[in-house]
Structure 1
Amino acid sequence: MLDLHTLRTLEYDRIIGQLEALSSSEVSRQELSRLLPSSHVDEVRQRLACTKEGMDVLRLQGDLSLEGLKDIRSALRRAEIGGVLSPFELLQVASTAACEKQVKHVLNQIDEQETPLPILREMAAGLEDFSSLVRSIHSAIDPEGQVTDEASPALAGIRRSIRQLQTGIRSSLEQILRSSHFQKMLQEAIITQRNDRYVVPVKQEYRSAFGGIVHDQSASGQTLFIEPETVVTQNNRIRELELDEEREVERILGELTLLVQGETHALEHNLGLLTQVDVILAKARLGKRLKGVCPSIAADGNLRFKQARHPLIPAEDVVPIDVELGGETNAIIITGPNTGGKTVTLKTIGLLSLMAQAGIPIPVEEESQITVFRNVFADIGDEQSIEQSLSTFSSHMTNIIRILEQVDQSCLVLLDELGAGTDPTEGAALAIAILDHILKKDCRMVATTHYTELKLFAHAREGVVNASVEFDVETLSPTYRLLVGIPGRSNAFDIARRLGLSDEVVQEARAQIGQDENQLEEMIGSLATDTRTASEERQQAESLRQEAEGLLSELKEQRRIWEEEKEKLRTAARRDAQSIVTRAKREAEDVLQELRGWARQQRGSIKEHQLIEARKRLEEAAPEAEWRHTTDETEADQDRAIAVGDEVFVRTLGQKGKVIEQQGEHHFQVQVGAMKMRVDRRNLEWRSTPKQEETTKGSASYHRSSAPVRHELDLRGKMVEEALAEIDKYLDDALLAGYEQVTLIHGKGTGALRNGVQQYLHRHVRVKAFRAGGQGEGGLGVTVVELK
């Protein structure tokens, strides 16, 4: 168990107070008031991981308030034992149950891929949905805690009857007020209530003349509040209805309580999870306020605080310190003058360790690491006890004795002004003995002292390092900067000289102390100067490093922009090349249309010079150069042998074709669609060589295509896409053959093939008209096409 004396000394309770103020609900404040640092590594790691996720939620969503979370544990116990919950208690149950939706809604707004939040999402998944219970309570009870008329038809009817009776009573009483017979008897012309019954104020002397039931009188006795006989029956009926109303409200509350009773365990489970979430968020809010982080736990057991700041000192006043404990340094001995910040350093190290072990973010830099201590012991400040008649020295020694009895290697010990309050020689000897005893326990320790002997002890003892808090002699004030590796100076002589004490007196004072001590002070001063110089040079080096990193980042950005510009140029080149190829294809289409026109006009007798002219136009339409990447594979294609039957890519056309004849060493006759053309080997890319069977079939197909074109094309049994490809080639062949009319046989079937064929013919530029086959032509099973 952690030392409670240390918690008070290091003001851990003030941190808890800040956490309580930042929580959303009373139940989480109660939980936080019991929050103690843990000494178990796994528990501390889990706590810090939870808080880190909470800080991620605040960073991404602003905040997640759980003000609706109420402490409903006593209400749930009452419901379990059969008690009826009040409207206020039921509203608290509904408010707590509704928090489940808030948590899930906020977490669902955060992208799980970018920010997983596994712990909080698992908690949210464990929350049960009480939407039905919340609706039932809110439909019966309004926000002010009143059971509404809509809670039940019976309650609505009762209240309607009460309102009607109240209206009737008021009407009767208003008639009395307006009556000239009664006006002189009334003290005032008003209607009021006494004992929940409607009455009017009557003068004392008209008591007998007015009649009715007296319910009250004024302090002077001059006014009686009388219920007239005419409304007594109606008032009695109202009272009966009010009793009925109370019974109906009680019944409704009983039914709602039964709903709660059936969910007490689930509601309590939700309350526990939601309280955990609120505690996590309170820690995260404090971390945000302190600009803190959730440090990692050092694998080597070393404590490393970078730019650590005391959380209870205002940010504009606190001076960050760097501290490392562990490894080769188990203890730090801080020396220097009073009011220099030694005690603040002790408290910073201790309090931040306790906060981190409680899962609270600490104000340090991201690279900081903690070690999990089994216990933290502190003897800090003036602990003189008047009640126990103990001096400051006695009080410190009593506390130190208690620490020595409990300390072990897994503890952190903080000792302030060790050995003070007694004779300097004896105090220094006692301090060295205590330090040596603690160090033998192999624990971590930080101690402050004035004694020069302890500076020498720290210098000679393995695992101990000197440190001091910097003091500016020029301004006669501490800078509060921690200088590890340099023992502190008393600065008494320098301060005296700065305050005006003559050099003669100062020199005489120096002569009173030993030569060795003077040399030590001078050495310390020299070390401090060297350290300050090294620190300034390190800052300059850091500035240069940051500047170099900035230049590197700028160069990377310029390179990225250059790569983007290069890619834009490539894209533009591709676009231009595609435009050239598209124009070439359009020109090729025009050539084909002319060929078809010649074929129609001359009935197949196309002159050789016309084909040569058309081929020349095709070659001129091809782009002069095609932009493309050159790869080893494409270069290898130039050396690959091309044979008859191979599938090739004709670069000048941008289309695939098939080699049907080799003409010389470097030229091939290639069939592209319906065209046959002579192509140079340099303008061909080999794509594939069909298998033997395919080559045979392809050859047969070619010979068939060389045969006279039939006047009809049989498409039966083919898919629509397959049929359309054959129709396209067939119509080209028919046009070249000079046919004006052809027949497409598609059969009747489901009509899908016929519809596909006819839709295609609608779009074909060389189809003049088409119709279904007539009698003797095949009827609906064929389509007759007229060509133009």
Structure 2
Amino acid sequence: MLNHSLLEEKLGFKQIRNLLESYCLGDPGRELVSGIHFSSDYRSIKNELILNDEFKTLMITIPGFPSEEYTDLRQDLVRLRIPGTFLPVEDMLKLKYSYNFFTDVINFISAAPAPAFPSLYQLIEGFYPDPHINSEIHRILDEKGEIRDNASAELLKIRKAISAQMAMVDKRIANMLVQAKREKWVNSDVEIAIRNGRLVIPVPAANKRKLKGVVHDESATGHTVYIEPTEVFELNNEIRELELAENREIIRILTQFADFIRPQLDEIINIYKLLGRIDFIRAKTLFSLSIGAAMPLMSEYPGISWIEARHPLLFLSHSKQNKPIIPLSIELNTTNRILIISGPNAGGKSVCLKTVGLLQYMLQCGLLIPLRETSEVGIFSNIFIDIGDQQSIEDDLSTYSSHLFNIKKLLETAGGETLFLIDEFGAGTEPQSGGAIAEAVLEALNERKCFGVVTTHYANLKLLARQGNGFANGAMLFDTRKMIPLFQLKIGKPGSSFAFEIAGNIAFPKDILEKAGEKLGHAQLDFEKQVQELETERSEIILKEKQLHQADEMLSVLMSKYEKLTEELESKKKDIIENARQEAKTLLEKSNQIIEKTVRDIKQSQADKEKTNLLRKDLKAFIEEIETPIAEPLPLPKPREPQKPVTVKIKPDQFKVGDKVTMEGQYEAGEILEITSHEVVVAFRTIKLHVKPEFLELISNPVIKAESGSRRNISYNNMINDMNARMSNFRLSIDVRGYRAEEALGIIQKYIDESVMLRVPEVSILHGKGNGILRQIIRNYLQSVPEVKQFADEKLEAGGAGITLVKFR
């Protein structure tokens, strides 16, 4: 709808293009980067993303991908079609490096398992390095890129002759110098020099007639001339003839090589196209790794369901400064197609808008984008953007007129597959008129089923959203306590501009703000403040509910264990009683036997006094043995009764932040966090309450003060903090590609245990396709886990058999 050049400039895509070009190794790759364009063809976009994702996996799992620079020789190779033409030696060396790079790339990809990289294998299908080309280049050129002496028998013969002639020249001119010094034609310290590529002897001008030869040069003063002796001159001429013969032989060798590769020129030119394509994909992969991009779930229909999306340029900038970036989660669907974002200035509204536009444009240019891989992306036929001041002096258009002109073009072409992004919609003119026009435009775009994101401060646009009518509100959150924007998008509620709060935070004159408040009305200011505070408290309550739910689940687990233990103890108690009965019965039988035996023995001994005494002693010892009491177990310690704190009643205005207090009639101790004119904020364990000061009592005994924040809270808080830490660090997917089966199984066991403990309903395990061994081992383990409800392959477009989707009971 807008021209792509303007769209890329406003979204920042030109910077993305520049970064991609910096990752390229050669001109063919850079040409493809320059040719990147927006597409709405779902199949071609998906194929490009899959190819990029496979290359990313290849570079991560198998390091060492070839990265030599190469030179584009396609134009030079086209000229070789004419018989008799040849490549210069320097271009032949470039061809050698390029062909080596091509060979390394093909061998590297071919060494990877084909089932894991089907698109890459399809890309290189039909390309096979010809070893004869490399060997022929190696036969002609040495490692320095020079023609070898033995490139041909004739060249070797010529170069040997040149070497012999040059040695003779050196010998002759050295003898001539010695003779000249002996005859005093030259000074004794004179050495041989070179002029015009010839060896010469520096001779004083007065003696130049004494040495026969050719004068090649003279000194600036004219006192010295440089003479090449006649004998040496003739030898140098012969060397020159040999050099010409050498050059003719080199041309013959190069022409012969050109004749050798001429039948394969089309194939070599296609190799350069393949190198450019691979270089282009490699550059996109390196860029995607630098921004943490992922392969999302794809739909051929328009829509956005993004989780933790990040602006790539902002991410790179913040990474250099070690600053965190707050991700964006956003959804546009058939129910809520148009999102109206409101909130404070400098709160991140425009960044949200540009993030949506840039990531969608990148996606439809075939680039992976930085968001969670479980996000779902759709395809739009066109993107419209209206951001910034577009005032035109040449066209006599004001800022608002320019905006209206753009909106007019949008209305002319918008449809159900249009994504529009408008910043500060309706601004630039009188608020009531601008707001009314903006509202009418949005209603018209909604009727056409368009998708869009707009930012605004106008209340009438915030009121557009109703259940199921196509509109949704979004707010950029603002911390009213710290008076700073949070840069977080909250969908479902409108936001406030917080103009007065921001002005006060930058020390704007108070008298001006007071007058402005009087003109606006304090009711309106209080209403906006209360709405935001309610939203903040709502978020805190949701967090507390989550913590309480986790604690309740843990308590349920503990109760279940307790009940199980009680049942076991009850069962053991019955067994102990039964065993005691059996032992008593046995003991009674044994007692009767002993008594009967004693009586019998007394009768048989005819009441012998000594024998009778012995039998009585034995019977007494047995009775003492059975009457020995069983040691009682030590009593369990009684639970400590809660100690009532010692409190004193003080005046409401005497409380201060940090005081330990309790509410009337309660034992629980709390700490004062904040004091306002009407109420006091008190923290009781993890719960914050707004209480009127007259209902509070000051704790005076230090024991209770110490206990209030330590023993009674420590186990509960530790449990909550541990659960929160685990939940915040937990990922809904895990990647075990590249691990051995034993290592991967250990990682999966820990991951599944933690998933069960955190009550996660569903997780994904990325194990790759490969030969299926790792996949089978993992699934065999999942069958043995009773908490696993079911598992299956992920959707085909999301990874298919390479990912196992696990659902828990």
Same fold by TM (over 0.5)? yes
Q: Deviations over 1:742-770 (max 9, x none)?
A: xxxxxxxxxxxxxxxxxxxxxxxxxxxxx
- C-alpha contact 2:480 2:532 (8 A) present in aligned 1: no
Distance 1:255 1:535, change over 3 A: farther
Relative to the length of structure 1, the TM-score reads 0.66
Distance in 1 between the 2:14 and 2:751 partners? 48
The equivalent of 1:87 in structure 2 is 89
The equivalent of 2:614 in structure 1 is none
2:347 aligned to which of 326, 329, 340:
340
Q: Residue type of the partner of 1:338?
A: N
Distance in 1 between the 2:338 and 2:355 partners? 16
1:529 aligned to which of 513, 517, 537:
537
The equivalent of 1:406 in structure 2 is 413
Q: Does residue 51 in structure 1 map to residue 52 in structure 2?
A: yes
The equivalent of 1:709 in structure 2 is none
Distance 1:56 1:457, change over 3 A: same
2:431 aligned to which of 410, 424, 427:
424
- C-alpha contact 2:336 2:472 (8 A) present in aligned 1: yes
The equivalent of 1:632 in structure 2 is none
Q: Residue type of the partner of 2:250?
A: V
Shift of 1:183: 4.9
Q: Residue type of the partner of 1:269?
A: N
Shift of 1:514: 9.1
1:107 aligned to which of 100, 109, 121:
109
Q: Deviations over 1:647-705 (max 9, x none)?
A: xxxxxxxxxxxxxxxxxxxxxxxxxxxxxxxxxxxxxxxxxxxxxxxxxxxxxxxxxxx
Q: Residue type of the partner of 2:117?
A: L
Distance 1:300 1:440, change over 3 A: same
Shift of 1:553: 1.6
The equivalent of 1:122 in structure 2 is 122
- C-alpha contact 2:186 2:203 (8 A) present in aligned 1: yes
Shifted more, 86-95 versus 348-357: the winner is 86-95
Distance 1:551 1:296, change over 3 A: closer
The equivalent of 1:393 in structure 2 is 400
Distance in 1 between the 2:145 and 2:42 partners? 47
Q: Residue type of the partner of 2:325?
A: V
Larger radius of gyration: 1
The equivalent of 1:139 in structure 2 is 139
- C-alpha contact 1:487 1:524 (8 A) present in aligned 2: no
Give structure 2 stretches of 5+ with no counterpart: 551-722, 731-748, 758-776, 782-809
- C-alpha contact 1:458 1:466 (8 A) present in aligned 2: yes
Distance in 2 between the 1:490 and 1:430 partners? 21
Q: Secondary structure at the match of 2:465?
A: helix
Shift of 1:298: 2.4
Distance in 2 between the 1:196 and 1:501 partners? 84
Shift of 1:322: 0.2
The equivalent of 1:264 in structure 2 is 265
Distance 1:520 1:197, change over 3 A: closer
Q: Residue type of the partner of 2:104?
A: Q
Shift of 1:189: 2.7
The sequence identity of aligned pairs, in percent, is 30
Q: Secondary structure at the match of 1:262?
A: helix
Distance 1:160 1:525, change over 3 A: same
Distance 1:393 1:173, change over 3 A: same
Trace 1:467-486 onto structure 2 (pairs within 5 A). Answer: 467-486=474-493
Q: Residue type of the partner of 1:463?
A: G
Shift of 1:515: 6.0
Q: Deviations over 1:572-628 (max 9, x none)?
A: xxxxxxxxxxxxxxxxxxxxxxxxxxxxxxxxxxxxxxxxxxxxxxxxxxxxxxxxx
- C-alpha contact 1:218 1:224 (8 A) present in aligned 2: yes
- C-alpha contact 2:483 2:501 (8 A) present in aligned 1: no
Q: Residue type of the partner of 2:328?
A: I
Distance 1:504 1:136, change over 3 A: closer
Q: Residue type of the partner of 1:261?
A: R
Distance 1:285 1:266, change over 3 A: same
The equivalent of 2:19 in structure 1 is 18
Shift of 1:413: 0.5
Q: Does residue 553 in structure 1 map to residue 753 in structure 2?
A: yes
Q: Residue type of the partner of 1:457?
A: L
Shifted more, 378-387 versus 155-164: the winner is 378-387
Q: Secondary structure at the match of 1:480?
A: strand
The equivalent of 1:204 in structure 2 is 205
Distance in 1 between the 2:544 and 2:97 partners? 59
- C-alpha contact 1:100 1:274 (8 A) present in aligned 2: yes
- C-alpha contact 2:158 2:245 (8 A) present in aligned 1: yes
The equivalent of 1:175 in structure 2 is 175
The equivalent of 2:162 in structure 1 is 162
Shifted more, 291-300 versus 493-502: the winner is 493-502
Distance 1:153 1:518, change over 3 A: same
RMSD value over aligned CA atoms? 3.1
Distance in 1 between the 2:197 and 2:467 partners? 91
- C-alpha contact 1:334 1:467 (8 A) present in aligned 2: yes
Q: Residue type of the partner of 1:81?
A: I
Shift of 1:491: 1.8
The equivalent of 1:509 in structure 2 is 517
Distance 1:318 1:383, change over 3 A: farther
The equivalent of 2:642 in structure 1 is none
Distance in 2 between the 1:267 and 1:539 partners? 65
Q: Secondary structure at the match of 2:464?
A: helix
1:373 aligned to which of 376, 380, 394:
380
Shift of 1:284: 0.9
Distance 1:304 1:186, change over 3 A: farther
Distance in 1 between the 2:291 and 2:221 partners? 67
Distance 1:106 1:533, change over 3 A: farther
- C-alpha contact 1:357 1:372 (8 A) present in aligned 2: yes
- C-alpha contact 1:61 1:106 (8 A) present in aligned 2: no
Q: Does residue 319 in structure 1 map to residue 319 in structure 2?
A: no
Q: Residue type of the partner of 1:509?
A: G
Shifted more, 198-207 versus 541-550: the winner is 541-550
Q: Residue type of the partner of 2:41?
A: H
The equivalent of 1:769 in structure 2 is none
Q: Secondary structure at the match of 1:409?
A: coil
Relative to the length of structure 2, the TM-score reads 0.64
The equivalent of 1:253 in structure 2 is 254
Shift of 1:404: 2.5
Q: Secondary structure at the match of 2:267?
A: helix
Distance 1:126 1:178, change over 3 A: same
Q: Deviations over 1:434-474 (max 9, x none)?
A: 21222222121000011111111234781110001112233
- C-alpha contact 1:373 1:410 (8 A) present in aligned 2: yes
Distance 1:266 1:191, change over 3 A: same
1:364 aligned to which of 371, 389, 404:
371
Shifted more, 14-23 versus 94-103: the winner is 94-103
Shift of 1:367: 0.6
Distance in 2 between the 1:501 and 1:222 partners? 89
Distance 1:330 1:510, change over 3 A: farther
The equivalent of 1:273 in structure 2 is 274
Distance 1:504 1:26, change over 3 A: closer
- C-alpha contact 1:3 1:375 (8 A) present in aligned 2: no
Shift of 1:39: 1.2
Give structure 1 stretches of 5+ with no counterpart: 565-788
Trace 1:431-470 onto structure 2 (pairs within 5 A). Answer: 431-459=438-466, 462-470=469-477
